[in-house]
């Protein structure tokens, strides 16, 4: 039981640090839930389990929970987008439906890839604004930067994503053109 008490006291001592660490990964609305889930996880640790480095264990647990949350959010977004496209295309024949779904999926993949290529701070600001709908003031407070910097990050993110998407579309067109020329021969 002593190990568990040590883990709980370490949690209480570094709770604010966990909040800061998690805030770098997820939207502000989710931070408290993830930090609380970290506590739930340490409560679930068996009595006979020896944890050599409780601080590292707690930080890693919180980080993994935050990353899991992001993965689930990304999955929910892609699933809901697929559902919406099905509703919109009910009156389109099957061939057009398949084409539009594949095209939308490719565009979404290109967009996600474009966002992944943004510099870290720019990506954070861009995602908070465009995905989660935060105001520039909320983003500035969350990331501890000025609102002008947030505005510059978002503008740069839009510009870079647009350029990436245009290059990806051009590459797709070239690839499909070369596929057709191979089919003709």
Please check whether residue 140 is in contact with residue 150, taking contact to mean a CB–CB distance below 8 angstroms: yes
**Residue 28 class from Cβ within 10 Å (0-12 exposed, 13-18 middle, 19+ buried)?**
middle
Domain residue spans in the chain? 1-75, 89-185
Domain 89-185 adopts which CATH fold? Arc Repressor Mutant, subunit A (1.10.10)
| Entry pTM | 0.43
Q: Do domains 1-75 and 89-185 have the same CATH topology?
A: no
Domain 1-75 adopts which CATH fold? Rna Polymerase Sigma Factor; Chain: A (1.10.1740)
Please check whether residue 136 is in contact with residue 129, taking contact to mean a CB–CB distance below 8 angstroms: yes
Q: What is the pLDDT along the chain (185 residues), one digit of tens a residue?
A: 465 667 788 888 888 988 898 888 888 888 888 888 888 887 777 666 777 888 888 888 888 888 888 888 776 555 555 555 554 445 445 555 556 666 667 777 878 888 889 999 999 998 888 888 889 999 999 999 999 999 999 899 989 988 988 888 787 666 655 544 444 34
How many Cβ atoms sit within 10 Å of the Cβ of residue 151?
Answer: 15
């Amino acid at each position: 039981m002593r190990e568990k008490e040590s883990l709980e006291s370490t949690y209480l001592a570094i709770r604010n640090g966990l909040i800061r660490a998690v805030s770098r990964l997820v939207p502000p609305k989710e931070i408290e839930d993830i930090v609380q889930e970290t506590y739930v996880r340490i409560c679930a640790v068996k009595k006979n389990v020896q944890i050599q480095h409780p601080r590292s264990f707690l930080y890693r647990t919180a980080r993994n929970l935050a990353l899991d949350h992001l993965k689930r959010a990304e999955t929910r977004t892609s699933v809901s987008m697929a559902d919406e496209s099905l509703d919109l295309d009910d009156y389109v024949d099957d061939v057009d439906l398949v084409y539009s779904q594949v095209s939308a999926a490719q565009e979404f993949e290109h967009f996600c890839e474009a966002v992944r290529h943004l510099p870290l701070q720019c990506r954070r600001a861009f995602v908070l604004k465009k995905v989660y709908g935060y105001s520039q003031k909320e983003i500035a407070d969350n990331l501890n930067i000025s609102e002008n910097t947030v505005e510059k990050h978002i503008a740069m993110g839009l510009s870079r994503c647009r350029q990436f998407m245009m290059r990806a579309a051009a590459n797709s067109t070239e690839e499909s053109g070369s596929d057709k020329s191979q089919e003709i021969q």
